[in-house]
């Protein structure tokens, strides 16, 4: 077995052992769900419901006329109790539909369709109607990605799951293999791509076998075993590793005739085409050193993270018994100060949270609960020019100079050294002996460059 | 609602490596070199090392108004590296001045660790060299007295093997490997230096490109242009590698993180540049040895090298490529 990979990058500790053998399970009903009307890159949706309306699971509750947009669906039966801005995982307030969940749910049933008989237009519209977005975390609307202006010859299914801790894609590959392979075939049909490539990191040999045994004799599908190196699951690095093509800076994979889709997205595509099932639930990993029961869960979009943590046994070291000020979605935190860290997504690119009422959205691949011992120092020192960030940067950039120039407010020079091409994988910060928050500097520069561009446009 | 959850920018995991852990690794790497220098030069070696290390740490702590004398460990490294390039007979007060100069003139005036342009230890040595040239060596050097801790070194003077052909012919391969030859504290024993460097390589603190570029150039230039200099048991190229301060310079001085390029190509160019200048001084200059100034000159060129060796960005196709 030849194992392929991309240049540079880094070998990280996996931390997958917490949850990799946990089968996907469900949790009990939350009392309320908060469904943000923007869970994708693009235009926000307009609410189709108002306070007091009855909604059922799968009902469309938000949409927009814009092309780059994905409709939003209710994930449980209930009554709308508010349509208002609520805090989102990225720290911003997002217009959200808050639903009081009915204690008795009617499991929705979906008519089966023969996917072989669907035309490409029908597949595309099924994907659009289902509100599917890139579920690896990028949340780009899938129907837009599958309407490329250039011919596509290869579909790559991103089955790397290179972020430490996360195991939800792994479990889906094992437990929903058929849906995954069928989803990949549907995606390839939409863009008329002759080749399908599964890029799987070799720390998931069981998943590799499962996919292989589901392929039958399909000669258009190949499985590429990939090294367990971070960020193997980044689009550009995955394309380079699996079919040796380089996407030019600032361009999309379609430039080299490739569309990359994540495992969860492919499965969602299959379910949308086969059952017309909207994207209102997803599988995510709950892990970290401080969670009592690490799990892989299928949860409804809109479920508050505090409730999910509670369903997983709560946080280690936290006082037992319900506190008086505790709300239904909340979970007691350890008495220590700081109490820990809660991260949505993976540890390298995820977002740390300050509240427990943040809802799960379509792009949430994991909830990580870290004990205070796992918390890294936030103080940083001067750059010692060791060059480790340059050595490991998968985009061949100069993270050190980007950081130094951002500190000096020279955003133009920071951009010149590649800040715009950075996709914020976090390796530079991981390796930095001076603990410099280079990814943060990159974000600052990107924000400043964008602001300058807007200002120039308004003149 | 909540007690304090930490909120910070991603990533949320870090490697355990810190500036301090790197500096401690360098100190560990210098241990065999320091130990051998005590075997060779007795109490003088121990005295000079203690003075430079202690002075460097105290000077930095005072300058930074810092209570913790060890700090990030970089001052201890500077002090120990300085001792390694001092002759064993140097008066103790000169060593003290050298250490103060290394920390202040070599590092802190630029803004501290990370901002200095030149290798601080070599700045200290260069200042001593131009101030008290006769005490800093030249052609006549105090020879080692093996395993005699209290030996009076001044009684046994030798000459650096680089002084002239006669001296070069007088040394043997085993002398250069073990270090039983006249020279600075830490530069004589090739074996100890290589042993220490292995530690740094295994920890990935130094890139092979600088030492390979440096030593390769010295070997090649020594072989082709050092012609007739040495006809003993060694080839001339090998002699130039092992004699003098090239090994210590290439593995411990030129590889200093702060003052060498960050690009991979740049590091190779940097190493080759050090090698070329060292050999030019040795073959054509008035001084027998040129390692210090070779590295200092290349330190000054580091920003230029970095600017001209920018790697192509991922996916970028260079014009003409």
Give B1's pLDDT tier (boundaries 50, 70, 90): very low
Provide the domain count of chain A.
Answer: 3
Are residues A367 and A394 located together in one domain of the fold?
no
Q: pLDDT at position B156, please?
A: 57
Check A333 against B2: CB less than 8 A apart: yes
Are residues A364 and A392 located together in one domain of the fold?
no
Average pLDDT over chain A, rounded to an integer: 92
How close, in Å, is residue A297 to chain B by CA atoms?
22
Are residues A285 and A245 located together in one domain of the fold?
no
Q: pLDDT at position A321, please?
A: 64
Torsion region of B73: left, alpha or beta (phi above 0 gives left; psi -120 to 50 gives alpha): left
Q: pLDDT at position A109, please?
A: 85
- CATH of residue A249: 3.40.50.11540
Check B15 against A430: CB less than 8 A apart: yes
Q: pLDDT at position B169, please?
A: 67
Tell me if A5 is assigned to some domain: no
pLDDT of A76 over the 90 cut: yes
Let me know how long chain A is.
Answer: 459
- Residues A311-332 pLDDT 10s: 999 998 888 765 545 678 888 8
- Residues A260-319 pLDDT 10s: 999 999 999 999 999 999 999 999 999 999 999 999 999 999 999 999 999 999 998 888
Q: pLDDT at position A325, please?
A: 54
* Last residue in a domain, options A275, A302, A337: A275
Q: pLDDT at position B157, please?
A: 59
Minimum Cα–Cα distance from A400: chain B residue:
B262
Cβ atoms of residues A415 and A391 within 8 Å: no
CA dihedral B235, B239, B241, B243 (to 10 degrees): 180
Tell me if A289 is assigned to some domain: yes
Give B229's pLDDT tier (boundaries 50, 70, 90): low
Task: Give dist(CA A432, CA A438) in Å, integer.
Answer: 9
Work out the angle at residue A115's Cα, subtended by the Cα atoms of residues A65 and A191, and round it to the nearest 5 degrees: 60
pLDDT of A410 over the 50 cut: yes
Cβ atoms of residues A347 and A288 within 8 Å: no
**Alpha-carbon distances of B265 from A22, A458, B207, B296, B304, rounded to whole Å:** 47, 43, 11, 19, 13
pLDDT of B106 over the 70 cut: yes
Minimum Cα–Cα distance from A374: chain B residue:
B13
Arithmetic mean of pLDDT, B212-228: 84
Check A251 against B9: CB less than 8 A apart: no
Are residues A198 and A329 located together in one domain of the fold?
no
How close, in Å, is residue B10 to chain A by CA atoms?
5
- Top residue of A244, A331, A376, A427 to mutate, by most chain B CBs within 10 Å, is A376
Secondary structure (H, E, C), A229-259 = CECCCCHHHHHHHHHCCCCCCCCCHHHHCEE
- CATH of residue A358: 3.10.20.600
Tell me if A190 is assigned to some domain: yes
Give A115's pLDDT tier (boundaries 50, 70, 90): confident
Check A236 against B314: CB less than 8 A apart: yes
Check A338 against B261: CB less than 8 A apart: no
β-strands A295-300, A24-26 pairing: parallel
DSSP-derived secondary structure for B276-305: HHHHHHHHHSSSS--HHHHHHHHHHHHHHH
A400 chain-B contacts, CB cut-off 8 A: 262
Q: Which domain holds residue A37?
A: 30-102+280-374
Are residues A70 and A194 located together in one domain of the fold?
no
pLDDT of A249 over the 50 cut: yes
B240, burial (CB in 10 Å: exposed 0-12, middle 13-18, buried 19+): buried
- Top residue of B5, B108, B264 to mutate, by most chain A CBs within 10 Å, is B5
Alpha-helix runs per DSSP H in chain B: 19-41, 43-63, 74-84, 92-104, 120-131, 165-170, 173-178, 190-202, 209-225, 236-242, 246-248, 264-284, 291-308
Are residues A344 and A394 located together in one domain of the fold?
no
Check B207 against A353: CB less than 8 A apart: no
Check B13 against A327: CB less than 8 A apart: no
DSSP assigned state of A319: P
Give B163's pLDDT tier (boundaries 50, 70, 90): low
Are residues A269 and A144 located together in one domain of the fold?
yes
The partner residue sitting opposite A343, judged by closest CB among B2, B12, B316, is: B12
* Domain range annotation of chain B: 19-305
Interface of B with A in 275-294 (CB under 8 A): none
Lowest-confidence range among A20-29, A322-331, B215-224?
A: A322-331
Q: pLDDT at position B228, please?
A: 52
A435 chain-B contacts, CB cut-off 8 A: 14, 18
Give the global pTM: 0.90
Average pLDDT over chain B, rounded to an integer: 86
Tell me if A97 is assigned to some domain: yes
Are residues A315 and A209 located together in one domain of the fold?
no
Check B13 against A164: CB less than 8 A apart: yes
Q: pLDDT at position B320, please?
A: 40
* Last residue in a domain, options A240, A275, A310: A275
Give the percent of chain A with pLDDT over 70. Answer: 98
Check B11 against A246: CB less than 8 A apart: no
What ipTM was assigned to the predicted interfaces of this complex?
0.86
Burial call B283-306: b when 16+ CB within 10 Å, e when fewer: eeeeebbbbbbbbbebbeebeebb
Give the percent of chain B with pLDDT over 90. Answer: 54
Q: Is B68 on the interface with A (CB under 8 A)?
A: no
A434 chain-B contacts, CB cut-off 8 A: 18-19, 114
Are residues A214 and A299 located together in one domain of the fold?
no
Tell me if A382 is assigned to some domain: no
Are residues A80 and A117 located together in one domain of the fold?
no
Are residues A145 and A259 located together in one domain of the fold?
yes
Alpha-helix runs per DSSP H in A194-338: 205-215, 235-243, 263-275, 305-311
Work out the angle at residue B263's Cα, subtended by the Cα atoms of residues B257 and B268, and round it to the nearest 5 degrees: 85
B19-305 — its CATH code? 1.10.3430
Secondary structure tally for chain A: helices H, strands E: 13, 17
How close, in Å, is residue B208 to chain A by CA atoms?
13
How close, in Å, is residue B183 to chain A by CA atoms?
30
Nearest alpha carbon to residue B44 among B123, B120, B148, B180: B148
Q: pLDDT at position B159, please?
A: 63
The partner residue sitting opposite A382, judged by closest CB among B113, B259, B316, is: B113
Q: pLDDT at position A215, please?
A: 85
Check B261 against A387: CB less than 8 A apart: yes
Are residues A234 and A285 located together in one domain of the fold?
no
Q: Where is pLDDT greater, at B236 or B251? A: B251
């Amino acid at each position: 077995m030849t194992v392929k990979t991309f240049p540079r990058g880094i070998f990280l500790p996996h931390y997958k052992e917490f949850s990799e053998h946990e089968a996907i399970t469900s949790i009990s009903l939350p009392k309320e769900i908060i469904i943000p009307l923007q869970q994708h890159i693009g235009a926000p949706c307009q609410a189709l419901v108002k306070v007091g309306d009855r909604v059922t699971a799968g009902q469309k509750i938000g949409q927009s006329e814009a092309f780059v947009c994905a409709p939003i669906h209710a994930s449980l039966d209930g009554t709308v109790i508010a349509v208002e801005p609520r805090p989102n995982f990225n720290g911003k307030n997002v217009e959200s539909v808050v639903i009081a969940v009915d204690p008795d749910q009617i499991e929705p049933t979906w008519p089966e369709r023969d996917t072989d008989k669907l035309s490409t237009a029908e597949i595309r519209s099924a994907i659009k109607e289902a509100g599917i977005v890139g579920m690896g975390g990028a949340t780009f609307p899938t129907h837009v990605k599958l309407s490329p202006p250039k011919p596509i010859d290869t579909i790559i299914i991103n089955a790397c799951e290179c972020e430490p801790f996360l195991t939800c894609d792994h479990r889906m590959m094992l437990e929903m293999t058929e849906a995954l392979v069928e989803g990949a075939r549907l995606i390839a049909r939409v863009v008329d791509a002759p080749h399908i490539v599964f890029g799987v990191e070799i720390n998931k040999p069981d998943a590799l076998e499962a996919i292989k045994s589901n392929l039958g004799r399909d000669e258009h599908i190949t499985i590429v075993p990939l090294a367990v190196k971070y960020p193997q699951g980044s689009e550009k690095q995955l394309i380079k590793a699996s079919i040796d093509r380089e996407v030019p800076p600032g361009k999309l994979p379609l430039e080299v005739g490739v569309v990359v889709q994540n495992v969860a997205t492919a499965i969602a595509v299959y379910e949308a085409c086969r059952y017309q099932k909207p994207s209102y639930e997803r599988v995510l990993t709950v892990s970290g050193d401080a969670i009592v029961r690490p799990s892989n869960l299928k949860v409804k979009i809109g479920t508050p993270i505090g409730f999910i943590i509670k369903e997983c046994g709560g946080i280690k070291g936290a006082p037992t018994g319900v506190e008086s000020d505790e709300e239904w979605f909340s979970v007691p935190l350890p008495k220590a100060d700081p109490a820990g860290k809660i991260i949505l997504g993976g540890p390298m690119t995820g977002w740390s949270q300050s509240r427990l009422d943040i809802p799960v959205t379509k792009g949430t691949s994991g909830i990580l609960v870290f004990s205070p011992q796992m918390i890294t120092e936030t103080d940083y020192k001067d750059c010692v020019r060791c060059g480790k960030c340059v050595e490991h940067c998968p985009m061949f950039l100069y993270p050190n100079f980007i950081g130094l120039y951002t500190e000096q407010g020279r955003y133009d020079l920071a951009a010149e050294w590649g800040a715009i091409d950075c996709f914020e994988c976090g390796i530079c910060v991981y390796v930095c002996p001076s603990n410099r928050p280079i990814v943060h500097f990159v974000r600052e520069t990107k924000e400043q460059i964008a602001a300058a561009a807007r200002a120039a446009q308004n003149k | 609602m909540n007690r304090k959850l930490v909120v910070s920018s991603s990533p949320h995991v870090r490697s355990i490596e810190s500036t301090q852990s790197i500096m401690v690794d360098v100190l560990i790497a210098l241990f065999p070199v320091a130990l051998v220098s005590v075997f060779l030069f007795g109490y003088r070696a121990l005295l000079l090392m203690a003075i430079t290390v202690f002075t460097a740490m105290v000077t930095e702590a005072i300058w930074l108004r810092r209570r913790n004398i060890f700090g990030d460990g970089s001052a201890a490294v500077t002090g120990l590296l300085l001792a390694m390039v001092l002759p064993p007979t140097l008066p103790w007060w000169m060593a003290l001045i050298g250490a103060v100069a290394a920390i202040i003139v070599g590092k802190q005036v630029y803004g501290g660790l990370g901002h200095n342009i030149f290798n601080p230890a070599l700045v200290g040595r260069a200042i001593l060299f131009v101030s008290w040239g006769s005490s800093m060596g030249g052609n006549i050097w105090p020879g080692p007295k093996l395993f005699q801790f209290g030996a009076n070194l001044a009684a046994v003077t030798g000459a650096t093997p680089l002084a002239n052909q006669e001296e070069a012919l007088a040394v043997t391969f085993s002398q250069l490997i073990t270090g039983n030859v006249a020279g600075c504290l830490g530069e004589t024993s090739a074996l100890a230096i290589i042993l220490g460097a292995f530690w740094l390589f295994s920890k990935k603190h130094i890139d092979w490109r600088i030492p390979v570029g440096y030593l390769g150039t010295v070997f090649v230039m020594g072989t082709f242009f050092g012609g007739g200099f040495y006809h003993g048991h060694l080839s001339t190229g090998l002699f130039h590698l092992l004699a003098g301060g090239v090994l210590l310079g290439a593995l411990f001085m030129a590889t200093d993180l702060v003052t060498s390029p960050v690009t991979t190509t740049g590091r190779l160019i940097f190493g080759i540049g050090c090698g070329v200048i060292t050999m030019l001084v040795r073959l054509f200059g008035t001084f027998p040895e040129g390692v210090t100034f070779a590295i200092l000159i290349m330190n000054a060129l580091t920003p230029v090298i970095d600017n001209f060796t920018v790697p192509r960005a991922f996916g970028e196709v260079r014009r003409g490529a």
